[in-house]
Amino acid sequence: MASDKVTACCQALIEKNLTVTFVESASAGKMCYEFSTVLNSGWVLIGGMVCYHVSMKEDLLQIPWGTIEKYSAESAPVTELMAQNFHRYMQSDICVALTGLTTPGGSESSSKPVGTIFVHIVFPEKKQVAKRYEFNGNAESIVDQAIDAVAALILKEI
């Protein structure tokens, strides 16, 4: 069942007649799923794509070769390109991209610990918002906190 924040966000999108798509890495499709559980979500949720592996980011989302090597798959520049490139192909008002570290490994470092999440959202009129978060807890808790943060951010911006 969707959290109160996701429910409120979905209801606001319905009221404003705005559609949304998601391109997810760290959340592995859970964000799209959570939005899909809200009553009448079919009026606003177009769908999403999970692009967990680097090859999907480069091949399907056309992240330029070398970008991930330079910044890492879990970074603000890659998340921005994911949102922008996916939004070009999707007929939605809002496009949300999310990457990050929910478990040890990957590009984890002292400056980018487990729990670091990057979000980039493309809104109507080409307005864009990027955020970096650091959450605590296990992988599922980090993802749930990130989904609520995205819902709150969308609510704030619309």
- For residues 40-61, average pLDDT: 93
- CATH second-level architecture of 4-157? Alpha-Beta Complex (3.90)
Question: The whole model's pTM is what?
Answer: 0.95
* pLDDT over 90 (residue 125): no
* pLDDT over 90 (residue 100): yes
- For residues 132-143, average pLDDT: 98
Residues in the chain: 158
| Whole-number percent of the chain with pLDDT over 90 | 87
- For residues 62-69, average pLDDT: 92
pLDDT band, very low/low/confident/very high, at 105 (cuts 50, 70, 90): confident
Q: Tell me what pLDDT residue 66 has.
A: 92
Tally Cβ neighbours within 10 Å of residue 35: 26
- For residues 34-52, average pLDDT: 95
- For residues 10-31, average pLDDT: 97
* pLDDT over 90 (residue 110): no
Sign of CA dihedral 156, 32, 124, 97: positive
State both tokens at 53.
């592996």
| CB-side neighbour CA atoms (13 Å) of 117 | 28
Inter-CA distances, 57 with 11, 117, 120, Å = 31, 17, 15
Q: How far is CA 123 from the centre of its chain?
A: 13
pLDDT band, very low/low/confident/very high, at 148 (cuts 50, 70, 90): very high
Q: Tell me what pLDDT residue 50 has.
A: 96
CA 128/CA 109 separation, integer angstroms: 27
